[in-house]
Amino acid sequence: MPEVIVAASRAEAVEAFGDGADVTVVAGGTIVMPEITHGRLRPGRALLIGRAGLAGIERAGGRTTIGAGTTLAELEDAAEPLGTCARHVADLEIRGQATLGGNLCAPPGAEAPRGDLQAALLALDARVHSTGAGGDRTESVEEFLAAGPGGRLVLEVSFSDPEAAGTAGVRRPHAHAYTVLRVCAARVGGELRVAVSGAGPIAVRSRAVESTQDPARVLDDVTPQDDALASAWYRSRVLPVLVRRALEELEAR
């Protein structure tokens, strides 16, 4: 049986997490609890952060800061393209439990990708504030995703209001379905940023689209993969269409 720690404050969560060795963070639990139930994950220590006061959305000076424990339901009206991404994850039940931190740190799943908000945060050029070995760190979401979430406890993310944004996605017509693919685009500080989730284990930027605005060039940066939801072949054909729609939406706003 794992040691279960229920953090009652941010300070308790940070202290219990320490350098992250042998700790499994449980936020909304929509990914991690099925893994434990089916015996695929056997934590030595489980750190429950749902009562640690890590939720909340603050806005000041054109910048939004969102606590890692904020649920996707609470993000449904967030700045675009984050709000739309949150509204399209699964169903009310899941969105009421699932958190921003859990989405950002979602481990690659064999059956489906599950980090839709990563694409929105990449497009928004968000910064991730985390703690762990070596203390606190703030870095771009791109750097955070490239390093992988291991050994870090995410505390909050922040981003500036984009000048414009657009997003397009495909999901199955079923309440419990995962998003098959999502494209997010935003203009931040005059710069176009385009990111894709659902094509592989983590969301990635498409610099080729950013520099050319040619939707077909998305396949220069993204190599779609097969999974239980869709084939790589299908994703390769749909992805440029979604990029075009996201760019059209961005230009229309």
Ligand X SMILES: Cc1cc2nc3c(=O)[nH]c(=O)nc-3n(C[C@H](O)[C@H](O)[C@H](O)COP(=O)(O)OP(=O)(O)OC[C@H]3O[C@@H](n4cnc5c(N)ncnc54)[C@H](O)[C@@H]3O)c2cc1C
Candidates 10, 14, 28, 205; binder of ligand X (CB under 6 A) is: 28
Q: Distance between CA atoms of 164 and 177, rounded to whole angstroms?
A: 28
* CB closer to ligand X out of 97 and 213: 97
| Tokens found for residue 74 | 């609470």
Nearer to ligand X, 50 or 240 (CB): 50
Q: Taking CB under 6 A as the rule, does residue 166 contact ligand X?
A: no
Quote the tokens at residue 55: 């939720």
Give the helix/strand (H/E) hosting 234.
helix 232-252
241: enclosing H helix or E strand: helix 232-252
Residue in the block written with tokens 């941010």? 10
199 binds ligand X (CB under 6 A): no
* Cβ-based neighbour number of residue 98 at 10 Å: 25
Picking from 200, 71, 192, 191, the residue whose alpha carbon sits closest to that of residue 145 is 200
In the complex with ligand X, which residue's Cβ is closer, 32 or 217?
A: 32
Q: Does 101 bind ligand X (CB under 6 A)?
A: yes
- Closest to ligand X by CB, 98 vs 242, is 98
Joined together, the tokens standing for residue 117 give 């908000």
Is residue 68 a contact point for ligand X (CB under 6 A)? yes
User: Which residues 204-233 are close enough to bind ligand X by CB under 6 A?
Assistant: none
Taking the complex as a whole, how short is the minimal distance between the CB of residue 46 and ligand X, in angstroms? Answer: 9
User: What tokens does 14 get?
Assistant: 């940070």
Query: Kind of pairing, strands 57-60 and 164-171?
Result: unpaired
Contact between 25 and ligand X by CB under 6 A: the answer reads yes
- The least distance separating ligand X from the CB of residue 197, rounded to whole angstroms, comes to 7
Does 89 bind ligand X (CB under 6 A)? Our answer is yes
**Can you give the binding site for ligand X, defined by CB under 6 A?**
24-32, 68, 72, 89-90, 94, 97-99, 101-103, 105-107, 114-116, 149, 152-154, 176, 178-179
